[in-house]
Amino acid sequence: MSLLSPVVDGDGAPFWEYASRGELRVQTCADCAEPRFPPRPCCPYCQSFDSDWRPVSGRGRIWSYVVPHPPLLPGYAELAPYNTVLVELTDAPRIRLVGNVVTAADAPLDSVDPARLRIGAGVRVVFAPPDEQGLRLPRWLLERP
């Protein structure tokens, strides 16, 4: 049983296109330069409809995390307990990405012992191998494994 693949919409498509090239980029207003997430058509700060996708360093800190146990969807139940983290980006502190801490880009969701996770721990982004739709999910490695 495979895991869920993102269902990409028009606003989110650039994020996934950059991710498939191994780049982490955040939608940023072309007029006032404020980053925003999740992607959307209009800047909430200045109402501009023009945006860029700005590269970020891919460094962040764990803001919080959970360790889900069954009942879960089948593909996830097989891997449980695994971790799901919320990573606050170093370059853009209000931008927080949901993800998973793993031991390597291609390692399974349950590859890190949850006891090793701490709020505030430094992480850096890697990208999973392409899924069936060719999408690559950002994943996170502990800075101090």
The DSSP secondary structure of 76-104, one letter per residue, reads HHTT-S--EEEEEESS-TT-EEEE-B-SS
For residues 24 and 15, the answer to whether their CB atoms sit within 8 Å is no
Residue 49 interacts with Zn ion (CB under 5 A): yes or no: no
Q: Does 48 bind Zn ion (CB under 5 A)?
A: yes
Residue 68 CB partners (closer than 8 Å, separation 6+): 76, 80, 81, 82, 84
CB of 29 or CB of 123, closer to Zn ion: 29
Residue 43 contact partner, candidates Zn ion, another protein, none, CB within 5 to 8 A by sort of partner = Zn ion
* Chain positions contacting another protein, by CB under 8 A: 3-9, 11-12, 37-38, 44, 63-69, 71-73, 76, 79, 81-82, 84, 86, 94-100, 109, 114, 119, 137
Q: Does 87 interact with Zn ion (rule: CB under 5 A)? A: no
- Residue among 101, 28, 20 at smallest CA distance from 60: 101
Out of 26, 43, 87, 89, which residue is the one contacting Zn ion (CB under 5 A)?
43
| Sites of contact with Zn ion (CB under 5 A) | 29, 31-32, 43, 45-46, 48
